Structure 1
Amino acid sequence: MAKADKAAAIAELSEKLRTSNAAVLTEYRGLTVAQITDLRTKLRGNATYSVVKNTLTELAAKDAGVTAFDGLLEGPSAIAFVEGDPVEAAKGLRDFAKDNPLLVIKGGVLEGKALSVEEISKLANLESREVLLAKLAGAMKAQLSQAVYLFAAPLAQTARVVDALRQKVEAEGPAQPAAAEAESTEAPAEADAATETVAEGGDES
């Protein structure tokens, strides 16, 4: 490879290491072209799987300030550069390695932090971003529903009180005119009694 081509390849790898959300180093010895193509398909949308040269990758990692691959760049190497969800990418690599044991996960880097094989395995066992967001949305919806209930409860209680008062007024309403009618009935009777008294007095005089 010409010097200019090497420099361009190193710069490209260095840029990918800087800008990727994560990167996982693997050894693909024994995998067929068809199997590697299948792996690339499974990772599509979250990561790109690139076969790399160890010497160039070592220089690119040094240029990018990545030390996670130190001592691991041996044998036929390929890197999964993660542009999407690191959890989904780790799941894809793990699942493919289960079906194709010739794929060996050697280490990785996530947001500048070196990841061991065990840590990558733990990352693969995490719930995906979509699942976590769905759970968060469900929790927020439940809290919102509870808040709506708490705000609505006093209103409902107030409505019940108002309704009870209305019913009470309606129940007592007819009694008031009856009392007034009784008073009006008693008034003429008293007036008649007074008239009779005056009349009697007149006769005595």
Structure 2
Amino acid sequence: MNRTEKEVLVGELNRTLSETAIVVVTRQSGLTVAEVSDLRAKMRKAGARYKVTKNRLARLALKGTQFEQLDALFTGPTAISTSADPVAVAKVAVDFAKANDKLTIVGGAFGNQMLDVDGIKNLATLPSLDELRGKIVGLLQAPATKLAGVVQAPAAQLARVLNAKAQQG
């Protein structure tokens, strides 16, 4: 990789880090191409990205972003996962690390907040943005449904009384 290619890679990584909400740093040792492809596919499905990084280039890309404090985590064979949804990326990383001991979560950051391994695991237990949106929609629809039922109840009772009178007569 020549100098120009490295500069382009650092610029792209810096742009990605500037636009993301969370970064999860992982250490991978011995992952096969198929396993990495599987992890990337799971990340994409969750709306996240997974990228194997060269430590020196990643450190350069961190400069000027809110994730500069992650510099010390880039030792050994590392990769980063990024996403706008903090819970989704944490869930995929934690679930994959549980199933595959070749991937280890090192730490990460959510905005300016550094997260250790336990912080990432705790984040993975929270409901995702989509789950929260679904709950909010359900809560908003519930009162309307109850109101419609209450409004319709007297008319339905009147109809039943009239029907009963018609049956008697």
Q: Deviations over 1:58-105 (max 9, x none)?
A: 11112324234131110011111224x331221111111111011011
Deviation at 1:30, TM superposition (A): 1.6
CA contact (8 A) 1:20 1:81 kept: yes
Q: Deviations over 1:26-59 (max 9, x none)?
A: 1111211111111111111311211111011111
Q: Is the contact made by 1:40 and 1:48 (CA closer than 8 Å) also made in structure 2?
A: yes
Check conservation: 2:67, 2:111, Cα contact below 8 A.
no
Check conservation: 1:109, 1:115, Cα contact below 8 A: yes
8 Å CA contact 1:27–1:103 kept in 2: the answer is yes
Distance 2:66 2:149 in 1: 54
Task: Show the counterpart of 2:62.
Answer: 61
Distance in 1 separating the partners of 2:64 and 2:11: 8
Counting aligned pairs with the same residue, the percent is 37
Q: Is the 8 A contact 1:28 1:78 kept in 2?
A: yes
Letter of the 1:69 counterpart: L
Deviation at 1:131, TM superposition (A): 2.0
Residues 90 and 121, structure 1, Cα contact 8 Å, conserved in 2:
yes
Aligned residue for 2:123? 123
- The CA distance in 2 between the partners of 1:7 and 1:55, in whole Å, is 12
- Aligned pairs, number: 157
Identify the residue that residue 34 of structure 2 maps to in structure 1: 34
**TM-score, normalised by the number of residues in structure 1:** 0.67
The question of whether the paired residues in 2 share the 8 Å contact of 1:72 and 1:106 is answered with yes
Distance 1:130 1:66, change over 3 A: closer
Q: Structure 2: which 5+ runs fail to align?
A: 159-169
* Shift of residue 111, structure 1, vs aligned partner: 3.2
The DSSP-based 3-state class of the residue aligned with 1:145 is: helix
**Alignment map for 1:75-114 (pairs within 5 Å):** 75-83=76-84, 85-114=85-114
Q: Distance in 2 between matches of 1:55 and 1:47?
A: 23
What's the offset of the Cα at 1:148?
4.5
SS at match of 1:9: helix
Asked whether the 8 Å contact 2:66–2:111 carries over to 1, the reply is no
> 1 or 2 for the larger relative contact order (CA 8 Å, sep ≥6)?
2
Letter in 2 for 1:132: L
Q: Which whole-Å CA distance do the structure 1 matches of 2:111 and 2:88 have between them? A: 16
